[in-house]
């Protein structure tokens, strides 16, 4: 039996692998990757590489073994993910895996925004396949915001259309630690975890914290949804994706990403990473 991480060279996948290495020997870990060359460092550390692509059912059929514990990290190709995830689910079911953990989205069926639709469909496909599942419904990452910090500082503004809606985000590393816990521990099959940070914050509070730490004037500017979308497309964001981002802000305004369940901190056995620390790290790296 191996602990298998799909998308293992992605931003979340690599963090999950690092967390697993803290818990189990390398020879118990298998990494499903599209390009073995990009995972050469993992192989050098004793991790088994299984080359497969979400778009290649034949390769996926050879990626899993009976008894494996598998983490399906959701793909990033919006609009194609249901078919891709279904291919993984079918391969895992045919292999007879012991657990399929899936990184969905906070709220599950209650997440009523466009970006969540493929996650809801994937969870249903897992249930329909009769697989032993664990649903890791991840909230927002701090990095969704701190990766744009250079632009925020340049313009002195955080722009959005979320109003005073609150975001219970956590660090990507926190979610990776939770995944490693459910893959290496017992009692997690059949469980649904609503994962989010311990503290929810608004975009105006985020702007104020950036200003405090950077010593620069930064404020939140609330935009009408239409103006927000036009701003994004004007900056080069494809129109369809810009619409999804604006829809997410509307969801934040409705409270859909602000739930502080405590599941994440309970799983990882410590408080989640504060937003202020993520901002501090991002500023130090800029």
Residue 249 resides in a domain: no
Domain count, the chain: 1
User: Would you state the pLDDT for residue 184?
Assistant: 98
For residue 21, being part of any structural domain is answered with: yes
- Residue 158, beta-bridge partner list: 220
Structure tokens at 22: 């803290």
Q: Report DSSP state, residue 98.
A: S
In order of 56, 110, 135, 217, 232, the CA distances from 119 in angstroms are 20, 11, 10, 38, 24
Query: What does the block give as tokens for 78?
Result: 């919006």
Residue 148 belongs to some domain of the structure: no
Say whether pLDDT at 1 is over 90: no
Q: What pLDDT sits at residue 232?
A: 94
260: enclosing H helix or E strand: none
Residue 242: per-residue pLDDT = 96
CA distance 178 to 64: 22
Q: Is the model's pTM score more than 0.85?
A: yes
Q: Looking at the domain assignment, is residue 248 inside a domain?
A: no
pLDDT digits (tens, 9 = 90+) for 22-52: 999 999 999 999 999 999 999 999 999 999 9
Rounded distance, CA 244 to CA 115, Å? 6
| Domain ranges, residue 264 | 3-139+171-196+260-268
- The two most distant CA atoms of the chain are separated, in Å, by 57
**Helix intervals (H) in the chain:** 11-21, 40-44, 57-61, 81-95, 117-129, 143-146, 149-155, 172-184, 203-214, 225-234, 239-253, 263-268, 275-285
> Which residues, 6+ apart, have CB-to-CB distance to 143 below 8 Å?
11, 171, 172, 278
Q: What is the pLDDT of residue 286?
A: 80
pLDDT tens profile 177-205:
999 999 999 999 999 999 999 999 999 99
In a domain, 160, yes or no: no
Chain centre distance of CA 62: 25
109-155 pLDDT, tens per residue?
Answer: 999 999 999 999 999 999 999 999 999 999 999 999 999 899 999 99
pLDDT tens string 48-100: 999 999 999 999 999 999 999 999 999 989 999 999 999 999 999 999 999 99
| H/E run at residue 5 | strand 3-6
Provide the pLDDT for residue 195: 98
Residue 97 inside a domain? The answer is: yes
Q: Is 245 left (phi over 0), alpha (psi -120 to 50) or beta?
A: alpha
- CA separation (Å) from 51 to 4, 37, 38, 94? 12, 10, 11, 18
Query: Which pLDDT score is estimated for 123?
Result: 98
Q: What is the CATH number of the domain that holds 106?
A: 3.40.50.720
Q: Are 256 and 158 in contact (CB under 8 A)?
A: no
């Amino acid at each position: 039996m191996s602990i298998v991480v799909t998308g293992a060279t992605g931003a979340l996948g690599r963090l999950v692998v690092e967390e697993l290495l803290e818990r189990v020997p390398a020879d118990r870990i298998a990494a499903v990757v599209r390009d073995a060359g990009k995972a050469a460092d993992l192989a050098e550390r004793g991790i088994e590489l299984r080359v497969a692509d979400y778009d290649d059912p034949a390769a996926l059929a050879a990626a899993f073994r009976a008894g494996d514990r598998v983490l399906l990290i959701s793909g990033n190709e919006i609009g194609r993910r249901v078919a891709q995830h279904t291919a993984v689910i079918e391969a895992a079911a045919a292999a007879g895996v012991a657990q399929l953990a899936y990184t969905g989205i906070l709220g599950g069926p209650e997440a009523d925004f466009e970006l969540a639709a493929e996650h809801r469909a994937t969870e249903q496909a897992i249930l329909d396949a009769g697989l032993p599942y664990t649903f890791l419904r991840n909230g927002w990452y701090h990095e969704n915001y701190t990766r744009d910090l250079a632009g925020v500082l340049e313009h002195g503004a955080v722009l959005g259309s979320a109003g005073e809606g609150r975001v219970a985000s956590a660090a990507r590393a926190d979610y990776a630690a939770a995944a490693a816990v459910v893959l290496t521990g017992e009692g997690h099959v059949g469980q649904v975890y609503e994962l989010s940070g311990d503290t929810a914050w608004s975009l105006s509070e985020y702007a104020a914290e950036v200003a405090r730490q950077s010593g620069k004037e930064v404020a939140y500017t609330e935009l009408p949804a239409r103006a927000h979308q036009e701003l994004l497309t004007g900056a080069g964001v494809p129109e369809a994706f810009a619409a999804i981002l604006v829809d997410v802000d509307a969801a934040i305004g409705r409270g859909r990403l602000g739930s502080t369940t405590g599941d994440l901190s309970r799983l990882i056995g410590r408080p989640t990473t504060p937003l202020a620390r993520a901002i501090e790290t991002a500023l130090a790296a800029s």
